[in-house]
Chain A
Amino acid sequence: MNLIDRYVAEVGRHLPEKDRADIEAEIRSLIEDMLEERGQSAKSADEKSIAETLEELGDPKLLAYKYSPVKRYLIGPDWFDLYLTTLKRVLFTALPIVAMIAFVVAFSIAPLDFGNAAGDAFSRVINIGIGILFWVTVGFIIAEHAGAKPEELGVSKIKAWTVAHLPKLPAKRQIGASEVLTNIVFLTIFLAWVVLPPFTAWLRGDEGFVQVFHPNLWNVWLPIFFVIAVLTLILELFKLKIGNWTPSLTASNVILCIGSIVYIIALVTTQKVFNPVFLETLTQNASAEELSKITSWAAWSVNLSAAIMVGIYIWDMADSVIKSRRLAQGK
Chain B
Amino acid sequence: MDNDELVQNMLLELRRGVLSLAVLSQLGKEQYGYSLLKALADQGMEIDQSTLYPLLRRLEAQGLLQSDWRIVDEARPRRYYVISAQGKAALAKLKKEWSAMAATMTKMLS
Chain A residues within CB distance 8 Å of chain B: 23, 25-27, 29-30, 32-34, 37, 42, 56-58, 62-63, 66-67, 69
- Checking B50, B76, B77 against A66 with a beta-carbon cut-off of 8 angstroms, the contacting residue is B50
A29-B76, A33-B78, A66-B50 given; name 4 further pairs at CB < 8 Å.
A29-B32, A34-B34, A42-B76, A62-B50
Least Cβ–Cβ distance between B7 and chain A, in angstroms? 22
- B48, B49, B61 interface centre (most CB from chain A within 10 Å): B49
B61-73 CB mask vs A (1 if < 8 Å, else 0) is 1000000010000
| Cα(A66)–Cα(B52), bound, Å | 10
| Cα(A33)–Cα(B33), bound, Å | 9
- From A32, which residue of chain B is reached at the shortest CB distance? B76
- Interface bin, chain B: 10 to 19
**Residues 6-56 of B at the A interface (beta carbon under 8 Å):** 32-34, 48-51, 53-54
| Cα(A159)–Cα(B53), bound, Å | 36
Report whether A63 and B50 are in contact in the complex, using a CB–CB cutoff of 8 Å: yes
Chain B residues within CB distance 8 Å of chain A: 32-34, 48-51, 53-54, 57, 61, 69, 76-79
Report whether A23 and B49 are in contact in the complex, using a CB–CB cutoff of 8 Å: no
Beyond A34-B34, A57-B50, A66-B51, whether A29 also contacts B78 by CB under 8 A is: yes
Q: Which residues does chain A contribute within 8 Å of B33, judged by CB atoms?
A: 26, 29-30, 33
| Cα(A196)–Cα(B54), bound, Å | 68
Q: Could you jot down 10 A-B contacts, CB within 8 Å?
A: A25-B69, A27-B53, A29-B77, A33-B32, A33-B33, A42-B76, A57-B49, A58-B50, A62-B50, A67-B57
| Cα(A25)–Cα(B57), bound, Å | 13
Secondary structure of the A contact surface, majority rule? helix
**Total A-B residue contacts, Cβ distance less than 8 Å:** 42
- B51, B57, B77 interface centre (most CB from chain A within 10 Å): B57
Q: Which residues does chain A contribute within 8 Å of B49, judged by CB atoms?
A: 30, 34, 56-57
| Cα(A227)–Cα(B99), bound, Å | 70
| Cα(A37)–Cα(B41), bound, Å | 14
Least Cβ–Cβ distance between B20 and chain A, in angstroms? 14
Report whether A66 and B79 are in contact in the complex, using a CB–CB cutoff of 8 Å: no
Least Cβ–Cβ distance between A234 and chain B, in angstroms? 48
- From A67, which residue of chain B is reached at the shortest CB distance? B54
| Cα(A58)–Cα(B57), bound, Å | 19
Q: Which residues does chain A contribute within 8 Å of B57, judged by CB atoms?
A: 23, 26, 67
| Cα(A57)–Cα(B51), bound, Å | 10
| Cα(A203)–Cα(B81), bound, Å | 91
Instruction: Give me the 6 closest cross-chain CB pairs, A-B, nearest first.
Output: A33-B34, A66-B54, A67-B54, A63-B50, A26-B79, A29-B78
| Cα(A62)–Cα(B50), bound, Å | 9
| Cα(A13)–Cα(B15), bound, Å | 29
Q: Which residues does chain A contribute within 8 Å of B76, judged by CB atoms?
A: 29, 32, 42
| Cα(A66)–Cα(B51), bound, Å | 7
- From B57, which residue of chain A is reached at the shortest CB distance? A67
Report whether A26 and B34 are in contact in the complex, using a CB–CB cutoff of 8 Å: no
- A23, A29, A58, A69 interface centre (most CB from chain B within 10 Å): A29
